[in-house]
Amino acid sequence: MQKPEFTITVYTENQIGLLNRIAIIFSRRKINIESLNTSPSEIDSVHRFTIVINETEDVVRKLCRQIEKQVDVLKAYYNTNDEIIWQELALYKVPTAIIAEKVKVERLLREYGARAVAIRTDYIVFETSGHQEEIEGLVGALEPFGLIEFVRSARVAIIKDSKGFHEKLKEFESEEPGAGLIENEFLDQQDEVFTM
């Protein structure tokens, strides 16, 4: 049975070696990373990893806890595909001669919402963005016309429910936990409560 696809979003410090530290959490467990993207986040100085894997939720939850356990990791979230908005970017290089001659190709490009990013006498580079299936659909359509080169980027994803990391970061930066986190009435009065 095909395991469900999960997108893991990790907020981290920008630290050399952290990519390896995160990657080996997967490789140690012989879990294949389908896609991995590192980028800046909404906060200056905070890095954001987007990792796609096919695993059961139970495994994904454990992986996220292992990731979060790393000293330089602020927070790891995991989401199913219906909880995120995601895109991938692809570039296609095709011979100009064919594009000029065959109207059919032009129509295909329109259908897939491709944009020309470079036009040369011998080739044209098109770009599309979308989900993997859409991108791969265009690859299939272009292949008979002499697709020279194709490349697809890793997934980038926005979590629908997320309010961003700003508030969370403030909590992390304060040495004392925020008011919302102190839920234990005993903690403030340990001297009174515990006589041992």
Q: Which amino acid is located at 115 in the chain?
A: R
Q: Which is nearer to other proteins, 133 or 175 (CB)?
A: 175
Q: How far is CA 113 from CA 37, 128, 131, 134, 154, in A?
A: 24, 7, 12, 10, 19
Contact between 51 and 35 (Cβ < 8 Å): yes
In the DSSP assignment, the letter for residue 77 is E
Q: How far is the CB of 60 from other proteins (least distance, A)?
A: 13
- List 82, 122, 133, 175, residue binding other proteins (CB under 8 A): 175
Residue 87 Cβ vs other proteins, minimum distance, rounded to whole Å: 28
Task: Work out whether 184 is an interface residue with other proteins (CB under 8 A).
Answer: yes
Question: Least separation, in Å, of the C-beta of 32 and other proteins?
Answer: 18
- Strands of the 35-40 sheet, one edge to the other: 35-40, 46-54, 5-13, 73-80
Looking at the chain, how many residues does it have? 196
Interface positions, 59-78, toward other proteins (CB under 8 A)? 61-62, 65-66, 68-69, 71-74
21 binds other proteins (CB under 8 A): yes
Task: Rule CB under 8 A: say whether 38 interacts with other proteins.
Answer: no
Phi/psi at 130 (5° precision): 160, -155
Comparison of 63 and 99: residue with beta carbon closer to other proteins: 63
30 by Cβ neighbours in 10 Å (0-12 / 13-18 / 19+) ranks as exposed
Does residue 33 bind other proteins (CB under 8 A)? no
The nearer residue to other proteins, 121 or 195, going by C-beta atoms, is 195
CB within 8 A of 69, min separation 6: which ones? none
Site for other proteins, rule CB under 8 A: 12-13, 16-17, 20-21, 24, 28, 45, 61-62, 65-66, 68-69, 71-74, 169, 172-173, 175, 177, 181-187, 190, 193-194, 196
